[in-house]
């Protein structure tokens, strides 16, 4: 690099001031400034409201960089084309000077004071949209020229008012001309400067690194959640969720599943006629979070790049210079084939397949053997009518699948002819498969796995026994940490610590570590565990329990104490707010001094909805409260199911509250829980 930098900018007063402003942060550098008019400066007849060339203000400057006539070009960041021309690189993006827009008007009238029909000049489609949202009675006209030339058009009456970037007015010492700052959403790059050099100029990139605000940006990862069942989330997607600071999710993801992640979680779902956020707003949320340095996950049902606005979000973020990554998911259109055993292609029947959106009623089915229709649930009849009118055989078979891969997945079969006539309403979301491959349902039977409903907070290790449907009927939330800290400081007064669940271990040691202490603080206090799962949690915390019964129950712990003839002592038991009386009362009867402490709350989750139990073969209860909450949600315990219980108290609760006194229809698999969690 030469001792004197060759810098190029447009020849307007504002552009020159921007260059001087930038180098004001680098007083040790010397530079030669080259100025010239851009294509846009010469062609003021081109309206910027009507899709002008992307490089209208940068083309000539970029050519000077590529030819070696200049080392760097300094642009207004929002003028950069996306993507940059080949051979060029953005080496620095500066902090915005001012991101707002201002109104310049005759007699300094504010926006609400302008008369209906007043002409307001702007060069930005975004500003036009924002203006008309507030004042649809105004006339928006295209305006070109330097800031000074535009203000002159206000003074000579060509326009009644002008919208201009506040930063431009301030840089030109013209901010006194602003009647008011407008409440507009402005271009994300407004007020920022962009430094462009030839690709490979790492010397320049290092030179201006401190001026580049992108070094403080986070990253946005678009993650495909798959068709709905969390088991189908990819390993890469799971890693991204674990590392995220903030997750933006939609309707086609499992909300309960997300609760296990530490990230803040924001719903941005869009269903038919019910949009929580406009797509433009979602994109700005992602951008703002990344600019704030967050690791952002945009979680989408299916695959992010298949009917999911993923391309729009990537283009928006990358055009605003935010690092992005896309992690694929299993698209519902592909998952439906595997999960119904209806192939999309089959030798001799179908060798081509198309994926289309069914949002529009007049959609034309492509001329492929198989057509998979996304988002067509509201237009089934007109889609079928249109397909027949355009030559599809009326007898063509159709499969409609609701909630693919989820526990309440439903499959419906029909034909185009039937769908074109019937008034039936199908549940949504639906994926629709049209084609002769659907007739293979008469020959291919989906492999049926035993379906197991797990009602505790953990799925345990039941996947090897069947298809797990996870519906947590309890929600765990820690109680006051300060109160527990006070108890921990007095532990030296106790002989024993009894842990009755993995959660009591988790919250106890989290609090202990938060006090700057570890397991050594327990000193000579002996520790008892109620069973294997709790003991595994203790081992993670660096504790080997002194005693542990073979079965996961309070009764088993009491029996073990008696068998080992352990001398009564003073015991502290951190546990659930719904902890059973069996253990403390049993210990007291044996002569122990017992103090219990509610270290966490066990409650029924809000907004639970029953699922269809007809396809469920086995129901797993991991605690008595799961049994109680199941009864509250479902109103009873269906016959002909297999039931699995953790602990005798869980089974006892089931028998105590079962409204059907005849238990002959139930299959008790007590003990299976322990065998599957070792």
Active site residues: 250, 270, 375
Tell me the CB-side half-sphere exposure of residue 476, using CA atoms within 13 A: 20
CA distance 293 to 288: 9
Burial class (CB in 10 A: 0-12, 13-18, 19+), 581: exposed
Cα→Cα distances 388→24, 498, 526, Å: 70, 71, 77
> Is 136 within 8 Å of 129 (Cβ atoms)?
no
Token couple for 642: 């297999």
SS (H, E, C) 1-32: CCCEEEEEEECCHHHHHHHHHHHCCCCCCEEE
Token couple for 175: 């901010």
> Is 352 within 8 Å of 345 (Cβ atoms)?
yes
> Is 247 within 8 Å of 265 (Cβ atoms)?
yes
Q: Cβ neighbours of residue 202 under 8 Å, at least 6 residues apart?
A: none
Q: Cβ neighbours of residue 587 under 8 Å, at least 6 residues apart?
A: 558, 561, 568, 571, 594
Task: Give the H or E element holding residue 131.
Answer: helix 125-134
CA distance 277 to 168: 31
CA distance 518 to 610: 43
Residues listed for the chain: 678
DSSP state string for 159-208: -SEEEEEHHHHHHTT-GGG-SEEE-----TTTT-EEEEEETT-HHHHHHT
Q: Cβ neighbours of residue 436 under 8 Å, at least 6 residues apart?
A: 349, 350, 369, 370, 396, 397
CA distance 587 to 547: 15
Which 3 state secondary structure label does DSSP give 605?
Answer: coil
State the distance between the two ends of the chain, measured CA to CA, in whole angstroms: 65
Instruction: Select from 150, 168, 169 the least CA-distant residue to 160.
Output: 150
Cα→Cα distances 659→233, 626, 656, 664, 670, Å: 39, 16, 8, 13, 20
CA distance 553 to 572: 18
Three-point CA angle 120, 16, 146, nearest 5°: 20
Which 3 state secondary structure label does DSSP give 314?
Answer: helix
């Amino acid at each position: 690099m030469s001792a004197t930098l060759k810098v190029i900018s447009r020849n307007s007063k504002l552009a020159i001031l921007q260059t001087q402003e930038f180098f004001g942060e680098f007083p040790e550098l010397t530079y030669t400034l080259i100025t010239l008019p851009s294509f846009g400066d010469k062609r003021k007849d081109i309206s910027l409201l009507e899709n002008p060339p992307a490089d209208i203000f940068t083309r000539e400057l970029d050519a000077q960089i590529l030819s070696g006539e200049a080392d760097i070009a300094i642009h207004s960041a929002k003028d950069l084309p996306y993507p940059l021309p080949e051979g060029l690189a953005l080496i620095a993006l500066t902090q915005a000077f001012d991101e707002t827009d201002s109104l310049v008007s005759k007699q300094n009238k504010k926006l609400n004071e302008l008369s209906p029909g007043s002409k307001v000049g702007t060069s930005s489609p975004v500003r036009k949209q924002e203006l008309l949202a507030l004042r649809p009675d105004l006339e928006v006209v295209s305006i070109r020229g330097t800031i000074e030339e535009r203000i002159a058009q206000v003074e000579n009456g060509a326009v009644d008012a002008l919208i201009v970037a506040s930063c431009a007015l301030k840089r030109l010492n013209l901010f006194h001309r602003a009647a008011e700052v407008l409440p507009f959403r402005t271009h994300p790059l407004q007020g920022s400067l962009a430094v462009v050099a030839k690709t490979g100029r790492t010397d320049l990139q290092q030179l201006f690194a401190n001026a580049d605000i992108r070094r403080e940006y986070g990253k946005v990862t678009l993650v495909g959640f798959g068709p709905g069942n969390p088991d189908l989330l990819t390993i890469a997607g799971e890693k991204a969720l674990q590392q995220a600071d903030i997750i933006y999710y939609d309707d086609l993801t499992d909300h309960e599943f997300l609760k296990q992640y530490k990230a803040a979680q924001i719903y941005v779902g869009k269903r038919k006629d019910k949009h929580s956020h406009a797509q433009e707003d979602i994109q700005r949320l992602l951008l703002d979070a990344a600019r704030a340095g967050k690791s952002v996950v945009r979680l989408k049902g299916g695959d992010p790049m298949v009917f999911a606005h993923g391309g729009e979000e990537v283009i928006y973020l990358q055009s605003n210079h935010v690092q992005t990554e896309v992690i694929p998911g299993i698209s519902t259109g592909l998952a439906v084939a595997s999960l119904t055993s209806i192939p999309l292609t089959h030798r001799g029947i179908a060798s081509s397949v198309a994926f289309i959106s069914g949002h529009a009623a007049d959609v034309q089915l492509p001329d492929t053997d198989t057509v998979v229709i996304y988002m067509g649930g509201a237009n089934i009849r007109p889609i079928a009518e249109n397909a027949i009118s355009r030559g599809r055989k009326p007898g063509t078979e159709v499969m409609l699948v609701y909630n693919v891969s989820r526990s309440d997945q439903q499959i419906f079969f029909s034909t185009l002819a039937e769908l074109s006539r019937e008034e039936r309403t199908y549940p949504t979301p639906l994926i629709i498969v049209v084609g002769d491959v659907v007739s293979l349902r008469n020959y291919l039977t989906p492999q049926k796995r035993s379906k197991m409903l797990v009602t505790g907070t953990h799925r345990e290790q039941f996947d090897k026994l069947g298809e797990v449907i996870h519906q947590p009927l309890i929600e765990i939330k820690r109680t006051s940490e300060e109160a527990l800290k006070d108890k921990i400081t007095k532990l030296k007064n106790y002989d024993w610590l009894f842990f009755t669940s993995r959660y009591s271990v988790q919250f106890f040691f989290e609090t202990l570590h938060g006090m700057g202490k570890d397991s050594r603080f327990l000193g000579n206090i002996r520790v008892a565990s109620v069973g294997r799962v709790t003991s595994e949690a203790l081992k993670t915390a660096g504790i080997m329990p002194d005693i542990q019964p073979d079965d996961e129950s309070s009764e088993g712990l009491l029996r073990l104490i008696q068998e080992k003839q352990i001398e009564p002592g003073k015991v502290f038991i951190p546990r659930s707010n719904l902890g059973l009386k069996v253990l403390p009362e049993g210990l007291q009867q044996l002569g122990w001094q017992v103090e219990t402490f509610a270290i966490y709350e066990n409650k029924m989750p809000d907004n639970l909805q029953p699922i269809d139990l007809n396809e469920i073969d086995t129901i797993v209860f991991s605690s008595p409260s799961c049994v109680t909450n199941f009864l509250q949600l479902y109103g009873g315990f269906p016959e002909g199911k297999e039931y699995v219980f953790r602990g005798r108290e869980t089974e006892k609760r089931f028998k105590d509250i079962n409204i059907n006194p005849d238990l002959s229809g139930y299959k008790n698999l007590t003990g299976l829980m322990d065998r599957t969690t070792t």
